Structure 1
Amino acid sequence: MALETKQSALHTTPRPTLDHHRQLRLRAPRWPRRSIRARLQLSHLFTSLVPLITMGFALLYTSAQAERRVFEQTQTSVAASIGRDLTKTLEQAQRGLLNFGRITPITGPDKDAIKSATREYLNRQYPDMIELAILNLQGDEIVRVTQERIYFDNQLINRVEEPFFAAGRQGLFHHSVTGAYDGRRVFQIAVPARNGVGQVQGVIVAHFSTQNMVQNLAAVPLETARNAFIMDERGNVLLGNAPEALIGTQNLRAWARSDAAVATLLGSDGAQVTAGRAFIPRHKWSVVVEQPTDRAFYASRRSTWLLALVLVGTGVFVGVWAVLLARELTRPILQLRDGVQVLGSGQLGGTIAVAREDELGQLATEFNGMSKRLAESQQAIEQRNARLSEGLNLARIIQHDLLPHGPPPIPAVTAQAASESAAEIGGDFYTYVPLPDGRLRLVIGDASGKGVAAALVMALTSSLVEIHARQEPSPADLLMRLNAELYPRFSTSHMCVALLVAEFEPQTQQICVANAGMISPLIAGAGECFYMASYGPPLGVVADVTYAESTIVLKPEQAVVFISDGIVEARSPSNEMWGFDHLESTVCHAASGGPAQIVSMVLEALKQHVQDMAATDDMTIIATTLHTHSKDNNPYVLVPTADGVQPDRLPAVNKLP
């Protein structure tokens, strides 16, 4: 029905509300749209594997650095040990020469005594001392003795140009590595020879064997050094086995001039060596211990690789554990999801396995109970719906029986009707009420709403129509009587009924219409198509109302079509109403075919318009034609007046576009 109930407008405006529950909440950033299993796996990997990897790399780095420091410290420690031995040897030799110089009168006239003392001292220092010589302040050798012989006077030489002499004459000490008379590398130590009052009387110079020191350099552990040697401040190798690829390189010379204890040097062959050194106190020498870098850190790299393998294995284990744990934790959730999907598809009563006793197990138990209760509720609802459906079917049958099933009871009126409810039962109704003098009253109504409520209103209204339709003298009086009966009954429910009463007069070919909220009748045929002017409010809306009547004389070819608003308000899938234009064009084209063709063409046009859309309102259409009959039931023809106007035709006609 097009009209709403009396108070429906009160519910169309939304009521303003105050939101007193708004709270400021801090929300964590949302995850990407992933499954719970993926989130658990990522979370476990992030919280376990990332710290593990971070700590593992930190451990690898610190372990490598620690092993490097240990190796370098070992190198410097070995070099320092060799340096201490060398320093001790040099200092002992130096002290012995000083003592020898103090107790030996090197300036005395008895050279044989000096030679004898020198020879005796050399023998006591055997086998370390190789050669011993005493020089005066002019640099001339006074005596020179080796382990094999004593030099004659004519074999003695002046050695004033040698570096050690200048240092010894000034009262200083001199140490160097030089070549001996037989070509061997020896330690050369020169000390001043002083008298009893401390005056420098000459210089004592001795050559000591380097064999013990060479053995010490060669005895360095292989895991610590490949070679050990002694170099001076310019990077010259004095003693030991230095790699050929390293001797004379710029890296070695630059390192010798620096104070760094450890360095990575590049040899002439492109190979790297790691070297550590220890400085010899009061000397410009340093003991160097070197090892190829790849060999030096082989153990460190092996430990690093082993630790990396352990880290990778642990990471793989953690990853697999994360996958298995996430799968184990999400299995009940997936079962619950599948159960919910089955439940959502309408298969109630299904259960899922409960294999846990934790919160997920409790959730599964609650789900099974809910599913069981829903199945029981569904069964109860189905039983109740079956009873309701049975009742509605019975109501539909009764409602169908209340409608006329044949033609109007007088032959002067031909009618074709069709009615379709939007629900099982509807609120549209119509009836034919014959009057004693041959007239026929057609009543068509539309109760507000749809379904059971509209059907109840329709039943009440149709009962009152059957009671009063024959008693009231005119259609307008019938509507006023019905309104007086219905208004008190609808005051609480706010329902209303649209009703139209059309009275056919076969003798005069007239139709008299009183309308209470229905669509005006459509007159079609004889070259015309228009709506009768008949209006009025629905029944049950206003307490006291006077309804007007409209009367018109029908031509023999004209049909009168009555419809409920569900016809024109039928909507297509694009939400377009069928409307009055389609109604008029369809009815006007079908008017010549009679009521049956009108109803058939209207229903077919509606079907094409709505397609598969469900009806939203009850739809009723009645097409009628009026035939003229005399009292003896013989047809007669109205004779128009001279001006061409029928004598009983009323001018109050509203022609709608």
Structure 2
Amino acid sequence: MKFWTRSLIARLVTSFLLVATIAVALLGYTAYRLGTESIQQSVIERLSVASSLKEGELNRWVDDQRQEVQVLAASPIIRLNAAEVVRNDPNSPIYRSSYQILTTYLPSIVLNKSSLTEIFILSNDGGKIVYSTDKNREGLFRLADRYFIQGQRAALVQNVYPSPITLKPTITIAAPLFDATGKPFGVLAGHINLDRLDQIVFERVGQGETSESYLVDRFNDFVSGQRFGRSDFLRGVHTVGIDAAIRGEDGSALYTNYDGVPVVGVYRWIEKREFALITEISQDEAFAPARRLGLIVFGVGFVLELTIALVIYLLTRQIVRPVSALTRTAAQVAAGDLTVQSTVFTNDEIGVLARTFNRMTTQLRQGREHLEEQVVERTAELRDTNARLQQLATELSEKNQYLQQGLTLAHDIQLGLLPDRPPWHGERLIAAGRSLPSAEVGGDFYTFVDIRDSEHVAVAIGDISGKGVGAALMMALTSSTLEERAREGTQPGALLSELNTRLAPRLKANKMNAALLYAMFDLKKAIMYISNAGMIAPLLIRNGAVSFIDVYGLPLGSLPQLSYTQLEVPLQPGDSIVLMSDGVVEAHNEQGVMFGFEQIEALFMNQPIHNSLDVSLDYTLAQVAEFIGASEQHDDVTLVLLHFNGAEQQ
């Protein structure tokens, strides 16, 4: 009370602050209420836009998959071969051939199309699965499944349902298969990977940190790509938004969500997909701008209160001498002199302020002295640390240089292992090859073999998956093993099967596979015997026409036991053969365009191979390099050219 009566400043400032604080508080609360009403509508509009985007994206995604399955069902290679598999005995040659084509074609689609987890073909007769990319499902009957029943007549999307095999949520798309006469004989179906469904639903589209979107089916169970429902909601989940959406209503509301959190929610029933889409955000986050607005209004008002109070204070005390003295002392401190002390003239507020100011300057002086000591210590520590870092940088540079020298030596050794010319004599079959690794060392190779009986010679080209030292070492092992068996005259099909058996364990252990093409030439009979394990099909150039030789097979190491077919190709004088790795076909330019098979055919059609194979090699590789341009070479480029001048004269 004595303080109140002795200080005019205290009475004036306190009275003013009391009245002004009440006014500012009322103003802040009014701003908060008005802001809440305005923001609520804005939040609902944002959530509605997000829900519309998600609904549209879900429908587009499912429609894209339906179109993809329809395109596959209309593909001639699938329709024709599927018809043969459905209508022929499994032991018949035509069945096995068609089944092999489907096995080669469809798994690659599943592998390259992340949205399809399985593609399978059902016979109209009994709904039997006659082919599937999942071999465990072949032979099963799906006679009662909706996608089989309705998929015989038209393309169908069976919305999310529990798979009878995995019990996980599944979407299946089916389309009828017609033979060449337009008669339906089966159904092509595919299960969709629902990871994309989760990505679309769970992705936040600028909605806020607590925003959440989820799906609920008509049984009040959560729906995701991995499961139905949740263990903590065994009887289904019920909220105002969920129940309204399941009734077929679209709208928005303020309510408590399934976790008991007050939210702003937008809900809608997606009839086309047969589930409800709920999008929510917590009311705490949604109305945070309104609270901030109220606090800002209150804060600005409070700052204004303090400003006016300070003005009143200055006007009241401007004639007081201690204020001037304290101001001069403060100026000296601001100039950097922390040794000065202010004279204390009174025991009122100014006197207290002067004594506090003196204590502050003392603490600042002591703090600055302590800080200067710390700066000296930290500078010495930083100097030592910098010296150690420089030493480590020097050591790393030396080790990197040593490693680079090793890689350069490995590059030279690897190129030295590739033959420039074949070991056989004579001009009946001439050959030349070239390999350009994309890294210091690569996994591509080629070799020429002079078989011991002197009537046969052989050529091989291979590509080990991956790049670098590991691929180069596996390349050396594969090449040496092949040459050892090839010199004994082993036929191509048997040789590749034997190599697969011997190398599969090592390839699997290193998570690699080896593509390999092996061709053996009977120079006396003018016949080429050829087998392929995953390489690009060879080109045959005959009488100015360019065509691919249809010989295919899985890479070595794909399966422990593999049998490879062998193709017999009669040769004519003047025939040329081109063997290449996928680095030639898949070379990309700066725009991401692939060199491709059509340019390969056009290149050799316009530039026939002749006896000067080096000229043809240089020209071909130069064309590929020109196409790539400034783009980085991503894969090894290997090319082998052969020219047949004629069989041995009898």
Normalised to the residue count of structure 1, the TM-score between the two structures is: 0.44
Higher helix share: 2
> Greater RCO between the two (CA within 8 Å, min separation 6)?
1
Give the greater-gyration-radius structure (CA).
1
